Structure 1
């Protein structure tokens, strides 16, 4: 996370307003379409957490986990809509990080972007690691080899022009969405109609074996700390704004539809699992393909090779999430570099507007995962993911605080406003505080706090010792002026 460079970083040319703008070889290409933006965010948020990781949350809360997902959806909605409203007004590079630099301070913009880069590196590594596991389910190859294979795949996709990247991510995310829709349709049929071999259980599973909340209502709060990270990835709505053809219109649609789809998918899917599979059995899932709650449901239908079908779906889900997070990480590094908060070479882009150096550096977590798997070293990867947990909560909180300042200045979105405005943002902050409070009852959250606070301290020391002297608010203001002009130009063309 060093911000030093062997050569002085060139100051971008002056803008007419006296600020600084990115030179031509640092500009991103505005090539992402309306549908691609929504699917990129969906691709990051709809990962393996739904397909394989739901068992842990069910174990905490039992059937009442449905409430945890519903509450999580409300919190995630405040984040997505607040971020979407700001991004529709200011479709700047660096997304929420640049917004925090403008509305809070350059320090908070710096910290949020570096923390989110850590998030993307960790999530990319985790999802590619998962891809390696899923591949080894079919092929007798070591997991580390599968990691390298899929690392090469997402590297190739991200190095292509952003329009091509968007098209591929659209396809990958569509496969996941179709799979979830099929699961919902099949599941509802089994719940309310049934088959000759499996009579319809109805909603009896929601209250069987201890009632709706067998572990008490406090368990819903604890499960929320697991559930919330299923919504990780909605931040991409803000980051993609800088490469959208029509940012104001695209962000408006994506912010609304993405959170509705995610809430619908998560709540309904988990409800179906609880109705069809005894919750203690679903909670005992070990995180592998054979014990996935989704496989248990398909087994009840008598689908041949249910595990293989689910394996294919979760592999595509993991690949899509890894692909989207690598994209996000490279754009974070690009924006930091353009604002002189990271080495200068990270700001350079190809003629197609692709930040190749940022993409390569953002693969560092994948290389670490492959090395650990190859050498048999354990434990380090779990610590990395603990930092990810803490970092994403911090980023979400900064998004909501930035929004409160945004609205207090009398500014609103270009195309839509979050219902409830500041009051909704405060609700979201209270929800995030409740999630973080589980640090006192969950060991993994305690680790998240310890390692996350350590990462913040290191980043803060680097900022005040090395980076602060490079900060020039003119860079931030020029980025806003450029983005606002682009938004107005797009609106004019659309009109």
Structure 2
């Protein structure tokens, strides 16, 4: 029977040894850094092309889903501040298989995303060094970030903090520049709120276009769940996690809606994301020299920041799998600095996979890797919603302690979040994003088979050990 102090104990539990060094501001910056990536700087044009001006509603609805998700996640994370996070919680409150599936899916998603980001970095560096082979930059930046992650969690957080600071500063600067173009200059024709209804009105592709863009908008918010993963190394989870989650969702929602709103007022939506980034277009309107170079530096920082955070997340998830006896036990070892170095080494395989897939499938390697990467993240979000339904009932039934944060509107808002997310995932089958399910469904089938084989093998192993013990006695 669990009492009011029940939780996945950090100090004496399966994740004993990790250092609790992360501050609240570091948690927020890590989540912001992981979520603010090339999806905003370059990918926002794709969402605008899918929905037109109604993309503002798409991002608002996407932010609403994320708000519901963070409410569920904050409550569960405060109860169980562990690096296994939603995977450990799914295992405890749903089934061991659910925890196995979500942790491996989240792990492979981040591993492949690391490979995608490091490959992108080599492309960005060609802007300044066109004659240097891309493999040089892949090895250089991969080596630096592996070292950062292997040193200590505080070193990782410090690098991620400044990566995020650069990106957030770029967004704030863009908003200020955009505001100047809109309200500080009267010499710019065809700029203003009228662009929201020009070229086909606010809903040029109807509600269907707006709905599809919601799915695209969610890619921009992926990474906010990183706060839950870092909670296992947070100094004061009860205070830090809820505060960091609320701040992150508010900042992201504000940044995205304001940024895209400014884009739409300055750049006609039909040209957004076709020829060049809307960010560059605003800089060109202001006659800022070296706009392309500035943009390239920001995108490079975004890629390095995302890679850094994804490497951290995949390492902690593999560590959690090992400590939970779902992966080889040596992957759960920690070095003298309290870092799971062996789990880190395994999680760098995404870099090698990226190179291999690119060599075998040069024309479709990006889509192949992103398909699994996207599914892993979306499947994780869905399990978080479902886990919360089981968690709240069992927590109250077993007399769990009063938590400093609770998801409002339970169970209705939790169910609403799960239904909206699941509906969006199903929608992808009828769009250009169907590759997510084409690779995601076989991946889950593969993991399911692997789980039962592993479970049977462990069961047989335990029987043998018990038999040997009986003979010895």
Query: What is the TM-score normalised by the length of structure 2?
Result: 0.90
Query: Does residue 441 in structure 1 map to residue 441 in structure 2?
Result: no
Distance 1:324 1:105 in 2: 28
Of 404, 429, 434 in structure 1, the residue corresponding to residue 418 of structure 2 is 429
Q: Is the 8 A contact 1:400 1:429 kept in 2?
A: yes
Counterpart of 2:372?
387
Pairwise CA distance, 1:375: 7.2
Contact 1:347–1:355 (CA under 8 A) maintained in structure 2: yes
Give 1:94-173 correspondences, 5 Å limit.
Answer: 94-140=84-130, 141-173=132-164
Residue 467 of structure 1 corresponds to 455
Alignment of 1:112-261 (within 5 A): 112-140=102-130, 141-194=132-185, 196=187, 198=188, 201-261=191-251
C-alpha change, 1:377 and 1:284, in structure 2 (3 Å) is: closer
Which residue of 74, 80, 84 corresponds with 1:90? Answer: 80
Report the counterpart of residue 453 of structure 1 in structure 2. 441
1:98-140 deviation digits (Å, cap 9, x = unpaired): 0101110111011100000011112212222221111111112
Q: Residue 414 of structure 1: CA displacement?
A: 2.5
Question: Paired residue for 1:482?
Answer: none
Please give the secondary structure, in 2, of the residue aligned with 1:262: helix
Verify the 8 A CA contact 1:85 1:413 in the aligned structure 2.
no
Q: How many residue pairs were aligned?
A: 447
| Distance across 2 between alignment mates of 1:405 and 1:143 | 48
Measure, in 1, the Cα distance between the counterparts of 2:352 and 2:309. Answer: 17
Assess if the C-alpha contact under 8 Å between 1:82 and 1:400 holds in 2.
yes
Q: Does structure 1 conserve the Cα–Cα contact (< 8 Å) formed by 2:191 and 2:267?
A: no
User: How many Å separate the matches in 2 of 1:42 and 1:67?
Assistant: 21
Partner SS state of residue 161, structure 2: helix
d(CA) in 1 for partners of 2:433, 2:190: 38
* Distance change in 2, residues 1:414/1:266 (3 Å): same
Distance verdict in 2 for CA 1:34–1:192, change over 3 Å: same
SS at match of 2:339: coil
Residue of structure 2 in register with 1:481 after alignment: none
Q: Structure 1 residue 388: deviation in Å?
A: 1.8
Q: Once structures 1 and 2 are overlaid, which stretch shifts more, 342-351 or 385-394?
A: 385-394
More displaced stretch, 169-178 vs 430-439: 430-439
What are the ranges of 5 or more consecutive residues in structure 2 without an aligned counterpart? 1-7, 460-473
Q: Deviations over 1:230-251 (max 9, x none)?
A: 1111111111110011111110
TM-aligned CA deviation for residue 93 of structure 1 = 2.8
TM-score, with structure 1 as normaliser:
0.86
Secondary structure at the aligned position of 2:272 is classed as helix
Alignment partner for residue 317 of structure 1, among 299, 302, 324? 302
Aligned to 2:403: 414
Relative to structure 1, the CA distance from residue 387 to residue 371 in structure 2 (aligned partners, 3 Å threshold; closer, same or farther) is: closer
2:390 alignment partner, one of 405, 413, 420: 405
1:389 shift after superposition: 1.9
Q: 1:195 to 1:353 in 2, by over 3 A?
A: farther
When structure 1 is superposed on structure 2, of 334-343 and 146-155 the one drifting more is 146-155
C-alpha separation in 1, matches of 2:259 and 2:456: 47
Q: Distance in 2 between matches of 1:218 and 1:92?
A: 40
The 1-side partners of 2:345 and 2:238 are apart by 30
CA distance in 2 between partners of 1:468 and 1:347 (Å): 22
Deviation at 1:374, TM superposition (A): 6.2
